[in-house]
Structure 1
Amino acid sequence: MNPSSRQSSASLLGLAALGLVTLVPTIRQASAAPESARSSALAVSMAPASSSNPTNPLAGRPWGVYRGRADPAWQPYLQATGETKQTLAAIALAPKAKFFGAWIPNSEIADKVQAYVDNATDGNPDALVQLTLFRMVPWEGEACTRLPTKAERASYQQYVDIVADTLGDTHAAIVLQPDGPFLRCVPHGSPIPADLLRYAARTLSAQPNTSVYVEMGSADWFRDRPADAARMLRSAGVQYARGFALDTSHFDSVGRQIDFGAKIVSALAKDGIPHRHFVIDTSDNGRAFTGAWYHQHHPSKPLPYAKACGSAGQHHCVAVGIPPTTDVGSAAWGLSADRTHTAEKLVDGYLWVSRPWLAHQAGSFSMKRALAEVRYSPFQ
């Protein structure tokens, strides 16, 4: 193994040393092929499902690692050397959720999804792929001012149908439409956007190995109002899904999401939707802060403009959080006993959904941000 290969494997080797993951195949076998050709040779295998969450569909299988140009971190990683390459490995070689949205035409989405699946699974039918479906038009701010046209509604449903058909029996975890709380601001309280999300949740969940998590913001976004979140989740189809996702695009703590998620699960059960689980985005909350804290200290800047950490002692800044895993109750995460117990029962996994190494989470790849977010993370 040459020095650069040894360095690029350091991040995953560190996780293996903690007993959180195993690497398949071995690092030595994976290094035998050129880096540009090793699409998913360093897949990450998750531990078996725990007795507290025996039906966890994300556990006990390898999580595919996409390694190609559609990941903005991949080319910078390939071109890096030395310590920079070793640091970027924490991002480039981590199993992450890839966004699929309206920027990919309906005519191209089948090929794009299939190419992603083929790359991430590397032909392993047991491997899990992760997708973020962000296809709603209009959404976010625009969703507050107009409703989808009839043509846009038909296009959305066609897009969902194509994604579902393309996935087939692939093992997939789908985070459905980040920033779910924008359902609160649709004009005239129209049910149309929620109806479309419900269609997506039902259609995607009908595939034999697809687990859907309907995204519903963060504890700090809802100001700890679980009944409000449960109501919107029901309207968006959580009754058809495995559960819901929290903290995508926010930077709030894992502990607060566990508490909030448990309250949502309880509220859903009281509303006739029992046995729901959730996932938490940990890509950017290594040094967590709430939206309220951020807006108090940065009143003129939107939340996506939050800065990366600049030193090991800094708090309330953006750093990568807990690495993707189903070992949600590990002592390495520093959770209280009560939160550990709750996580092991209700949380299917910590996923990397957001992309904090991009400018404002959606722009171009920022080497400076990426390196700082890894170097100053307490989990790397």
Structure 2
Amino acid sequence: MHRSPARRAPLLVALLVTLVLAVLAAVVEVPAGTGRAAAAALVGRAVETPANPLAARPWGVYTGGADGVYPAWQRAKGARKQLLAKAALRPRVRWFGSWIPATQVRAKIKDYVTTTQAEAGTPDVLVQLAVFRLWPQGEGAKDEPLTAADQAAYRRWVDQAAAGIGTARVAMVLEPDLGVALQGWRPSVRMKLTAYAAKKFGSLPNTHVYLDASSADWLTVPVARDLLLESGILHVRGFALGATHYSSLGSELLYGRQLVAALAAAGVPGRRFVVDTADNGRPFTWLEYWSKHPRGDFDNAEPCRAKAERKCNTLGVPPTARVAAKRWGLAPAQRTAARRHADAYLWFGRPWLYRQASPFQLERTLQVARTTPW
């Protein structure tokens, strides 16, 4: 039916308002819908920091089965489905590592990228991934030498992974737990390999790389600075905090601010950072955890049993680029640090997995979803 301009105006205004609200929404709520369309609808946009490449564009949601979260949500019903949605329908960083051979990693990453783009309905979507390739035999083998063949295999794997990313828009956390390299065989070798990866991935046109820089309760600022300098921070946008620890968001922001200043003083200014908030909803330090659980497993920290419990593992601030929002309850100095230096809060920790690695644990996931303050 033909509509006159006067009758079309209210409809156009309504559509424009809806569009603006969608663009300004941060990734903090779980959509009520179901299926892949609902997951694709959950995108993060923020205009808080115009120079931030992670803001003002959609964030993809991983709907594959590698971490077990999305398939569990698909199978669930009723209250369980609502709880699992708190993890399954939010943007999560997918990890790629030595369990994927160099001959396959290019195709695996390319498939992940194209699937995420298709489900978001745009090639402009931000794809999130972590590269965890420094430990081909696991971190437990940190004292074992890396042979010349091992080192060549690392570089070959990185080359293939970079080819799989290509021109896609990517936020990358590079080598989570990089600080472990300082405790093992010839740290300089692993840092040199990481620097190779930083330069390779950092040269991609739309890939924004964040080198792991430990956590506020782990390395001192001078040690973290030197680790980053040796591992290629010069070639990338910034660094990542909190990958395998559970320190508070506020403490990570202040630690990150100090590290930015330390890097600038060392001749590498303007670096930004991201913080993992997947599992620090009720934060605690390494020492606090051992005080509460003398024989506990820090890598598989106890989930909260109730919302009122403190110093336990539960989901934290949802993934977002609106880092200084009042909703996060940050102190003034923390909000300032976030606004000036942080690009985003990402979920690259994996509290739904056993020991943050594998396999997926349904009851654990339900527990951290049930007790989150968010």
Establish whether TM, by shorter chain, passes 0.5.
Answer: yes
**Cα 1:192–1:90, aligned 2, differ >3 Å: closer, same or farther?**
same
Match of 1:351 in 2: 346
Partner of 1:363: 358
Deviations 1:31-65 (A, max 9, x none): 6xxx3x64953240311242xxx421100100011
Q: For 2:37 and 2:106, how far apart are their aligned partners in 1?
A: 23
Instruction: Structure 1 unaligned segments of length 5 or more: list them.
Output: 1-14
Matched residue, 1:192: 189
AA in 2 matched with 1:46: R
Letter in 1 for 2:110: Q
Q: RMSD over aligned Cα, in angstroms?
A: 2.1
Equivalent residue for 1:41?
Answer: 40
Within the alignment, does 1:170 sit opposite 2:151 as a pair? Answer: no
Residue in 2 that maps onto 1:133 = 131
**What is the CA distance between 1:278 and its match in structure 2?**
0.4
**Cα distance in 2 between the residues matched to 1:170 and 1:109:** 16
In the alignment, which of 252, 256, 260 is matched to residue 251 of structure 2? 256
Partners of 1:40 and 1:120 within 8 A in 2: no
Work out whether 1:20 is the aligned partner of 2:19. Answer: no
Q: Report the CA distance between 1:183 and its aligned residue.
A: 2.3
User: What CA distance in whole angstroms lies between the structure 2 residues aligned with 1:296 and 1:372?
Assistant: 22
User: Are 2:216 and 1:219 aligned?
Assistant: yes
Whole-Å Cα distance in 2 between the matches of residues 39 and 97 of structure 1?
18
Aligned letter for 1:338?
A
1:294-328 CA deviation, whole Å, 9 max, x = no partner?
12232323311211000111001100000000000
| CA displacement, residues 239-298 of structure 1 (integer Å, 9 cap, x when unaligned) | 111000000111110000001010000000000000000000000000000001112232
CA deviations on 1:121-172 (whole Å, 9 max, x unpaired) are: 21511100001100113552322x1221111111111111111111111000
Measure, in 1, the Cα distance between the counterparts of 2:224 and 2:38.
38
In the alignment, the residues of structure 2 paired with residue 89 and residue 22 of structure 1 have an alpha-carbon distance, to the nearest angstrom, of 12
Amino acid at match of 1:140: E
Match of 1:10 in 2: none
The TM-score with structure 1 as length reference comes to 0.87
* Distance in 2 of aligned mates of 1:45 and 1:328: 12
In structure 1, what is the Cα distance between the partners aligned to 2:42 and 2:154? Answer: 32
Partner of residue 74, structure 1: 70
Q: What secondary structure, in the 3-state scheme, does the structure 1 residue paired with 2:259 have?
A: helix
Counterparts of residues 231-310 of structure 1 (less than 5 Å): 231-310=226-305
> Which 5+ residue runs of structure 2 have no aligned equivalent?
1-20
CA contact (8 A) 1:195 1:236 kept: yes
Task: Identify the residue that residue 204 of structure 1 maps to in structure 2.
Answer: 201
Query: How far does residue 368 in structure 1 lie from its aligned partner after superposition?
Result: 1.4
The aligned counterpart of 2:92 is 96
Contact (CA 8 Å) 1:306, 1:318: kept in 2 or not? yes
Q: Partner letter of residue 194 of structure 2?
A: L
> 1:82 & 1:45 partners in 2: Cα distance?
26
Distance across 2 between alignment mates of 1:266 and 1:301? 35
Q: Match of 1:327, SS? A: coil
Kindly tell me: are residues 205 and 40 of structure 1, through their superposed partners in 2, closer, same or farther at Cα, counting changes over 3 Å?
Answer: farther
Which of 110, 121, 124 in structure 1 is aligned with 2:117? 121
Q: Is the 8 A contact 1:48 1:61 kept in 2?
A: no
User: How far did residue 375 of structure 1 move?
Assistant: 1.5
My pick for the range that moved more, 207-216 or 39-48, is 39-48
> Partner of 1:60 in structure 2?
56
Task: State the AA in 1 paired with 2:45.
Answer: M
Q: Number of aligned residue pairs: give it.
A: 350
* CA positional deviation for 1:341: 1.1
Aligned position for 1:318: 313
Identity %: 39
Q: Answer yes or no: is the 8 Å Cα contact 2:27–2:318 preserved in 1.
A: no
Equivalent position amino acid for 2:133 in 1: R
356-365 vs 205-214, which deviates more? 356-365
Q: In structure 1, what is the equivalent of residue 224 of structure 2?
A: 229
